[in-house]
Amino acid sequence: MHPREFLSQFPLTYKELADRLGVTVYAIDNWMGKRANPSRQTQRQLADFAERLKENAQLRKSVLSTETEE
């Protein structure tokens, strides 16, 4: 799964996605701007992460939560 496809399904910021993948924001920006392609390993990581988010409502809620707890 390409990061572009992932972000169209799950609205994360570039920084949030970069933190989850263990890459820099610049890598995400390059992939989104078609200046570079993610490795197959990264694409597999994204596909696996997307599948986990689809299957696990609690994980999806914690990852996609934009509300700040006080």
Q: pLDDT in tens for each of the 70 residues of the chain?
A: 899 899 999 989 999 999 988 999 999 999 998 888 899 999 999 999 999 999 998 888 888 876 444 4
Compute the distance between CA of residue 29 and CA of residue 50 in angstroms, rounded to an integer: 19
2, 13, 34, 50, 51 from 68: Cα distances, Å: 29, 15, 33, 23, 25
51, 64, 69 from 27: Cα distances, Å: 22, 21, 30
Confidence (pTM): 0.75
